[in-house]
Structures are given as structure tokens and as C-alpha cells.
Amino acid sequence: MFETHVDTLYLWVGLGTVSVAVLGVVVGLPTTAPPDATAAAATIDEVTTSPPGSVAHRRLVATEWAFDGREIRLRNDGGTATARLIRTAVPARTEQLQSVVDGARPKAVYESPAAFHRDTRQAQTTNDRWRPAPDRVTVRHVAWGGTDVTIVG
């Protein structure tokens, strides 16, 4: 009456193995969705192709970002996403460029159009690396003294 059947042992071992495998898959799933680099790139492209003075904001759901002017890369616990731009933009890597992106006129920040042009060119050639991502990205199309650029900060 209290005999154990050989089939019962195999059943429990099999059930235990499947349970551990399912638990491993569930624990390995990401808890958040990967970031949407395509939407951020579309916002930058929209401002780049708009007339000077255009501004747009895009919320970023990412912990880190990298932007080199040709592509935007976003990373969070859900993964990494990359999107290329239609036209080149300028990353706001200096305090002056960040001031312009935040709404200051280039004339108020730079001593001359040549200084503005130099700063935008230097920002495009600076090495790109991962940085903490802001809550939102601001994109502004600026034209001053012969320099027509879209600044992302």
C-alpha cells in the first residue's frame, strides 16, 4: 500500500527540472522596454528639416545616451537602441551651445559668428561616449552669421 512507483520519481524529477528552467527564463526577462531611439531621431530630423527657429522636445526613457551628430544611441535595462539621422546635427557639448539650445540667442552667448561656427564644428568632431541620459532632449535649429545648424542638448 505504501510502495513507491518508479514512474513517480521520474515524474517529480521532470517536473522539478521544468520548473527551474521556467523560473530561469522568467528571471532573465528584462523588466523594462528597450528605449525608442527611432522616435528621438525622428524628432531631431523633423527640426533639422524645419526652418531656423524651430524647437522640439522629446522625452527619453533611457539611463545612458550617446550622440555623435549622425546617430543617437540609447541604453537602459531593457537593451540598447540605435537610430541614424537623415542630416547631421550638432551635440551641445559646451556650455555656450547648451545655452543656445535652451533658448539664448547665439549673439548673446558668442562674441562673433566665427566663434559660433568654430564651436559647432568642434562639437561635431569631439569623440562620442556614453553619458547619463537626460529626462528629455531639446532640439533647436539655429542660423546665425552663415552657420545653419541643428543643436541637440
Distance of CA 110 to the CA centre of its chain: 28
Residue 99: phi and psi, rounded to 5, are: -65, -40
Domain containing 113: what range? 37-152
What's the confidence (pLDDT) of residue 125? 78
What's the confidence (pLDDT) of residue 4? 59
Q: How far is the C-alpha of 48 from the C-alpha of 153, rounded, in Å?
A: 14
Q: How far is the C-alpha of 124 from the C-alpha of 69, rounded, in Å?
A: 6
What's the confidence (pLDDT) of residue 10? 72
What's the confidence (pLDDT) of residue 78? 87
Q: How far is the C-alpha of 135 from the C-alpha of 63, rounded, in Å?
A: 9
How many separate domains does the chain show?
1
Establish if 1 belongs to a structural domain.
no
What string of pLDDT tens digits covers the 153 residues of the chain? Answer: 566 565 667 777 777 787 777 777 766 665 678 899 999 999 999 999 999 999 999 999 899 999 999 999 999 988 999 999 999 999 999 999 999 999 999 999 999 999 999 999 999 877 778 999 999 999 999 999 999 999 999
Establish if 22 belongs to a structural domain.
no
